[in-house]
Amino acid sequence: MSRLIFPFLAMPASPSTRLRLSSGLRVSRFLLGSWTALVLAFLYLPVLVLVAYSFNASRLNVLWEGFTFGWYRSVWENAPLLQAARNSLVIAGVTTVLSVVLGTAGGWLLHRYRFRMAGGIETLTAIPMVMPEILMGISLLVLFATAGVPLGFTTVVIGHVTFSFPFVLVAVRARLRGLDPALEEAALDLGATPLQAFWLVIVPCLRPAIVAGALMAFTLSWDELIVTFFTASAASATLPIRVFGMAKVGLNPMLNALSAIFVVVTVAFVAFSAYLKRLAR
């Protein structure tokens, strides 16, 4: 019918029309590819330059004077820097565990049960995700000073968990929205207790969201600077605090080597996350 009303729809495209269409597509692809290449170069070229200069023998790190692994050796021999890295690893590990427990339990409770002030609780849990870090750091410092809690590892972990566990909660709740409620009902009908149904049926289905939230919590805790600055003591100073202190003094070539190590660790985390996603499929 459409061919009778619109005869030109049934007419084959002429060679000139096909040529114009293919030329337009080639131009569009070239422009989009060029723009994508420029964006990727803008994002990753400074990182590549930083990694390359981590092998520069120059102390000024402005001109290339030769290839060396000396700055990596200096990082390995710097005791305060290694102690700060251990502090960051311990704090990030504890923060990740607590964030996963609180985020998973909170997400399940908000999804499974309906009670008063549930909307207010959801809003309160989302505030740390959008609150400026300087405000959070100052408020936590005032809280600890008022309560008489000495600054140290405990205060740093509390501060990190405060802004980390909402990310786990959001990931878990997003996964729960797509979960079939009949799974829990079937487990209960087969004789499982509510706790067994949650642990043996719900948690395995939530594993991708829990892993994603755990990786996010670990990353946020590992590189957090502002909140840590207000809640840490000298003994609990983390790696970002040490790096910030070194950067204020001057351009230290060890920072390039340390940043290159961070890049390698970040790529390893991304690859591990992609591997877990393939396993989940």
Assess whether 42 and 85 both reside in one domain. no
For residues 140 and 214, state if they share a domain: yes
Domain interval for residue 32: 14-53
Domain co-membership, 24 together with 86: no
Q: Within this chain, do residues 155 and 229 fall inside the same structural domain, yes or no?
A: yes
Looking at the structure, tell me whether residues 120 and 245 fall in a common domain: yes
Same domain (yes/no): 30, 122:
no
| Residue 239 within a domain | yes
For position 1, what pLDDT does the model report? 47
pLDDT of residue 5: 47
pLDDT of residue 158: 94
Q: Are 165 and 217 in contact (CB under 8 A)?
A: yes
Per-residue pLDDT of the chain (281 residues; tens, 9 = 90+): 444 444 444 445 555 665 565 666 777 788 888 999 999 999 889 888 888 888 888 877 777 888 888 888 888 888 888 899 899 999 999 999 999 999 998 888 888 777 777 777 778 888 888 888 899 999 999 999 999 999 999 999 999 999 999 999 988 988 888 887 788 788 888 888 888 888 888 888 888 889 888 988 998 998 899 999 999 998 889 999 988 888 877 777 888 888 888 888 878 877 877 776 676 56
Residue count of the chain, please give it.
281
Report if residue 228 sits inside a domain. yes
Give me the CATH number covering residue 112.
1.10.3720.10
- Residues 137, 94 share a domain: yes
Residues 39 and 151 occupy one common structural domain: no
Dist CA 75 CA 71 (whole Å):
6
- Judge whether 120 lies within some domain: yes
Give me the pLDDT at residue 16, please.
60
Residue 63 lies in a domain: no
Whether residues 226 and 261 fall in one domain: yes
Reference 228, options 164, 148, 159, 143; nearest CA is 159
| Single-letter residue type at 15 | P
C-alpha 71/C-alpha 76 separation (Å) is 9
Same-domain status, 44 and 87: no
**How many structural domains compose the chain?**
2
pTM beyond 0.95: the answer is no
CB distance 97 to 227 below 8 Å: no
218 contacts 93 by C-beta, under 8 angstroms: yes
Q: Is residue 18 part of a domain?
A: yes
90 and 206 assigned to the same domain: yes
Domain shared by 121 and 167, yes or no: yes
Q: For residue 57, what pLDDT is reported?
A: 83
Residue 12 pLDDT: 54
